[in-house]
Amino acid sequence: MPITVTQQLLAAATWGSSQIAVVGVGSGSQVYYYDSSTANSCSSLAGSSASSAPTLVAWSSERLDAFAVDQSSKRMLHSWRDPSGWSQSWESIGTQMFSRPFAADSWSSNRLDVFGVGAADNSMYHQSWDGEQWQSDWEYHGGVFTSDLAVTSWSSGRLVVFGLGTDSAMYHLAYDGSIFGWQQQWDSLGGTFTSAPAVVSWSANRLDVFGTGSDYAMYHKSWDGNTWSSDWEDLGGGFTSPPAVVSWGSGRLDVFGHGTDRAVYHLALEGSWQSQWDLLGGGPFSTPPVAITWGSNRLDVFAVSR
């Protein structure tokens, strides 16, 4: 069934050897999904009424979890897919209200970490699932953010969260897995950005973070386990959206952006960056691209065309 996606972002995830799920908000604020294992068309997730783009994360070969901001209460809604299919209804988690899409990741089976920007204070809040239950309430982690958040895990128990501050610089906060494992404060990575960040890890102790600058170019910074690269690397291009980034192997990065001409462009790193951005054609697109991988030499990219 064709749908009209009304939010600015899609979300996608892969699980198993080659299964793909894509979710987006359609007419009536309903969340719709495409699931390659069960259907060839889009279907509505029952009971959803979302005011944000959804977030999707997989933590096993048979489990997907979706999150969105409820249109009326502004609380987090949660739905999930297991071998029996999608849950019959959405559950509301906690009393905290949110203003932006969530960031979520998993660093082991039965572990989920979800991050959101509070509606009242624009600070970051954190919620986690331990395989049996959600924690009793949302944890407050400070900061004041003007963008969606991005999160990645590069080993068991390790999380790093990124967001743009009121000065348009990039900030990050890390967790090392211990009971008091959060950094004491947000660290500024500098830069001047107009888009939410995108982050990926292709090995333990390696992080690569990207953002769209005020000059519409794409910028990149990396962490090698000890230090951040000294300056933001200018990758060029002309973009009007947050970047999308994915890695399908050690040392391999693929970055996608929504150009000023509403087309999708691609740049790859394998030892060094390719010489120029590739135009992937199609469109014009009304949403930024989202990219996933389920194996070496395999990429899937999605965007909404209008």
Q: What is the pLDDT of residues 109-121, one digit of tens each?
A: 889 999 999 999 9
Range 1-93 has CATH code 2.160.20: no
Task: Mean pLDDT check: name the lowest of 169-173, 175-179, 203-207.
Answer: 175-179
Asked whether the whole model's pTM tops 0.75, one would answer: yes
Domain boundaries, the chain: 1-93
| Local structure of residue 138 (DSSP, 8 states) | P
Closest Cα partner for 185 from 193, 174, 201, 176? 174
CB 35 within 8 A of CB 48: no
CB 20 within 8 A of CB 36: yes
- Asked if pLDDT for residue 212 goes beyond 60, the answer is yes
Q: What is the pLDDT of residues 246-258, one digit of tens each?
A: 998 888 999 999 9
The whole-angstrom separation of Cα 166 and Cα 178 is 30
- The pLDDT assigned to 121 comes to 97
CB 256 within 8 A of CB 283: no
* DSSP string over 269-305: EESSB-SSPEE-----BSS--EEEEEETTEEEEE--B
